[in-house]
């Protein structure tokens, strides 16, 4: 368990922010790193050509450490949707085959597949919400020989349901199906190791559990796809990018590994240092410990909420850091605003109250949410 890390964040004592699944607060050291990065632009003469590469190299190396792959396997992307679109552009599927997604999957990991299915004559196969809350079993049942691509998360975002990606990865390999992952609601709070799952592509936006800024993320690309087609063509993905004077000697060759999939202006001088600082902090804490710490707060919440008629799947079917509370009677849509008036912050997603604590939360934050729910009824 990690002792409460609130001192690293700028969260007033009277704010119970239990909404990391919406957006994490940026920790002070990451804010400082980002601010210093933004300030560089006031003195562009100090932004020497090597700076276009050093920040990106550090981002790639740190991201690679988090998922245990090599820096060459990481591309820098602006969003989860960009990473998913890259995967959809490169993975093979044809008429008569299908692409597997979950019911209520996040739109950024849905629309690209819907389009790919339309373009190829393939179909989408949607795994129905399992009554027993076991998303892993439901996915394994749905992995039939006609599945060409399984496009999945680690945590289903409206239920908190956790998928056993090691077993699913194994089943995909047996079937010859590709595996594309959106780890945005899990990476940083749920351990994930590339070698154990062996996905083809895996993306995570940085602004939630990676505790980073908005508009940057990491994309893992398995080596077998690293000669694929990027979404855009820009100068810095190419092999001659480091020699600014010869950029107009156009080349067919890309830079090594997954770098060809980098977004344009990937060397973002403000966002990358902030994202790197946050990932380094996660590495220092250790993601398994983050999971334990958030999990303990959620268990306390789940127990107290159960006394008021709320229910959620138990671990391990539910990810420890992610609690989606449901009940038989409808939850008022305006509940988040009612709670916000009390400076308690959660979200409503689908038909559940989504509670997402992290290492800056205290037991008192959880108790305040419970007290508010009791009062509001």
Ligand X SMILES: Cc1ncc(COP(=O)(O)O)c(C=O)c1O
* Interface characters, 114-143, with ligand X (x: CB under 6 A): ------------------------------
* Interaction residues for ligand X, span 21-80 (CB under 6 A): 79-80
Question: Is 219 among the residues that bind ligand X (CB under 6 A)?
Answer: no
Please say which residue, 149 or 241, places its beta carbon nearer to ligand X. 149
Please report how close the Cβ of residue 185 comes to ligand X at its closest, in angstroms: 4
**What is the secondary structure of 218-268 as a DSSP string?**
EEEE-GGGTTS--SS--GGGBTTTT-GGGTTS--SPBPSGGGGGPPTT---
Please say which residue, 241 or 353, places its beta carbon nearer to ligand X. 353
Please report how close the Cβ of residue 119 comes to ligand X at its closest, in angstroms: 20
Question: Is 106 among the residues that bind ligand X (CB under 6 A)?
Answer: yes
Please say which residue, 84 or 372, places its beta carbon nearer to ligand X. 84
Are the C-beta atoms of residues 95 and 122 closer than 8 Å to each other? yes
Which alpha helices (H) appear in the chain, and where do they start and end?
28-39, 51-67, 80-90, 111-120, 135-142, 165-175, 194-197, 271-285, 287-306, 335-341, 363-376
Among 38, 10, 36, which residue's Cα sits nearest to residue 268? 38
Residue whose structure tokens are 């710490």: 293
Residue whose structure tokens are 């290492």: 359
Residue whose structure tokens are 């393939």: 122
Are the C-beta atoms of residues 346 and 325 closer than 8 Å to each other? no
Are the C-beta atoms of residues 260 and 233 closer than 8 Å to each other? no
Are the C-beta atoms of residues 18 and 363 closer than 8 Å to each other? no
Please report how close the Cβ of residue 157 comes to ligand X at its closest, in angstroms: 4
* Interface characters, 285-304, with ligand X (x: CB under 6 A): --------------------
What's the distance, CA 86 to chain centroid? 16
Part in contact with ligand X (CB under 6 A); list of ranges 61-69, 103-111, 261-269, 363-371 = 103-111
Please say which residue, 208 or 238, places its beta carbon nearer to ligand X. 208
Please report how close the Cβ of residue 294 comes to ligand X at its closest, in angstroms: 16
Please report how close the Cβ of residue 154 comes to ligand X at its closest, in angstroms: 9
Side-chain half-sphere CA neighbours of 184 within 13 A: 29
Please say which residue, 21 or 373, places its beta carbon nearer to ligand X. 21
* Interface characters, 184-203, with ligand X (x: CB under 6 A): xx------------------
**Among 143, 168, 181, 205, interactor with ligand X by CB under 6 A:** 205
Please say which residue, 81 or 142, places its beta carbon nearer to ligand X. 81
The Cα–Cα gap between 30 and 37 comes to 10
Angle at which helix 111-120 crosses helix 80-90, to 10 degrees, equals: 20
The Cα–Cα gap between 149 and 139 comes to 12
Q: Binding residues for ligand X, how many (CB under 6 A)?
A: 12
Please say which residue, 101 or 194, places its beta carbon nearer to ligand X. 101
Please report how close the Cβ of residue 311 comes to ligand X at its closest, in angstroms: 22
* Interaction residues for ligand X, span 146-185 (CB under 6 A): 153, 157, 182, 184-185
Please say which residue, 155 or 270, places its beta carbon nearer to ligand X. 155
Residue whose structure tokens are 């692409």: 99
Please say which residue, 98 or 205, places its beta carbon nearer to ligand X. 205
**Among 19, 24, 97, 108, interactor with ligand X by CB under 6 A:** 108
Residues in the chain: 377
Question: Is 81 among the residues that bind ligand X (CB under 6 A)?
Answer: yes
Where does this chain bind ligand X (CB under 6 A)? 79-81, 106, 108-109, 153, 157, 182, 184-185, 205
């Amino acid at each position: 368990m990690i002792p409460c890390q609130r001192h690293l964040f700028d969260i007033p004592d009277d704010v119970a922010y239990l909404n990391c699944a919406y957006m994490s607060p940026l920790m002070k050291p990451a804010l400082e790193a980002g601010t210093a990065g933004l300030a560089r632009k006031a003195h562009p003469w100090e932004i020497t050509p090597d700076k276009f590469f050093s920040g990106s190299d550090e981002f790639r190396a740190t991201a690679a450490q988090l998922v245990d792959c090599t820096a060459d396997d990481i591309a820098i992307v602006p969003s989860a949707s960009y990473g998913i679109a890259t995967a959809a552009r490169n993975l093979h599927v044809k008429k008569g085959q299908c692409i597997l997604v979950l019911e209520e999957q996040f739109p950024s990991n849905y629309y690209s597949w819907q389009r790919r299915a339309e373009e190829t004559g393939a179909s989408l196969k949607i795994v129905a919400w399992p009554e027993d809350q076991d998303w892993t079993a439901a996915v394994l049942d749905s992995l039939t020989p006609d599945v060409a691509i399984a496009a999945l998360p680690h945590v289903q975002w409206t239920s908190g349901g956790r998928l056993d990606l090691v077993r699913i990865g194994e089943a995909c390999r047996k079937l010859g199906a590709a595996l594309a992952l959106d780890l945005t609601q899990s990476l940083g709070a749920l351990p994930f190791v590339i070698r154990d799952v062996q996905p083809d592509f895996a993306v995570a936006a940085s602004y939630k559990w990676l505790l980073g800024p908005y508009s940057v993320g990491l994309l893992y690309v398995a080596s077998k796809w690293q000669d694929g087609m990027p979404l855009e063509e820009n100068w810095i993905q190419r092999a001659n990018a480091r020699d600014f004077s010869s950029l107009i000697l156009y080349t067919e060759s890309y830079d090594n590994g997954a770098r060809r999939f980098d977004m344009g202006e990937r060397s973002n001088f403000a966002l990358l240092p902030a994202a790197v600082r946050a990932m380094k902090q996660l590495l220092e804490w250790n993601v398994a410990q983050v999971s334990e710490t958030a999990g303990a707060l959620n268990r306390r919440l789940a127990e107290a909420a159960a006394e008021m008629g709320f229910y959620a799947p138990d671990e391990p079917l539910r990810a420890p850091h992610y609690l989606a509370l449901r009940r038989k009677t409808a939850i008022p849509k305006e509940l988040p605003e009612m709670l916000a008036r009390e400076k308690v912050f959660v979200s409503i997603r689908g038909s559940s109250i989504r509670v997402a604590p992290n290492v800056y939360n205290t037991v008192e934050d959880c108790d305040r949410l419970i007290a508010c729910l009791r009062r509001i009824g």
